Structure 1
Amino acid sequence: MGVPVNGAQVFVHGVGTALPGPPVTNEDIAAHYGMPTVWRQWVDEFIGTRSRHLSVDLATGKTSHSLTDLGEIAARGALADAGVAAGDIDVVVMSTATPDHLAPSTVSRIAGRVGIAGVPVYQLQSGCTGAVQALEITQDLLRGGAYRTALVIGGDTSAKHTSPDVDAASVPLEVQVNGLIFGDGVGAAVLGTVPAEGRPVLRHVHSRLVGAGRAPGQTVYWFGRAVSGEDGVPASEDFKAIETTAAPMAADALKHLLHELSWDAEQVRYILPPQLSARMTDRTLSHLALPGSEPISRVTEIGNTGNAIPYFQLELLLPRLNPGDRAVGISIEASKWIRSGYALEQPATA
Structure 2
Amino acid sequence: MTRTVPWQPNTIADLRECLDRITADGTVPGGVIAHGTFDSEPGFLASGVVAPECGDARPGPDTVYDVASLTKVLAGWPLVGTFLRNDLDTPVSRLLPGIPAEAPGGRVTVRQILAHTSGLRADTRLDQYRNRTEPLAELICGEDLIAEPGAGHRYINRGFILLGLALAHSRGRRLDELAAEFWQRLGMTNTTYGPVARSAQVAPTEQRLPGAPRLWGMPHDDNAALLGGVAGHAGVFTTPADLAAFAAHLLSSHATSGPQGRWLTASMQPQAAIEPGLDRGLAWILADDGRVAHHHGFTGTSLYLAPATGRYLAICTNAVYHHRDNRTRLAPLRALALKAITGEPVGAPN
Same fold (TM > 0.5): no
Name the structure where strand makes up a greater proportion of residues: 1
Structure-1-length-normalised TM-score: 0.25
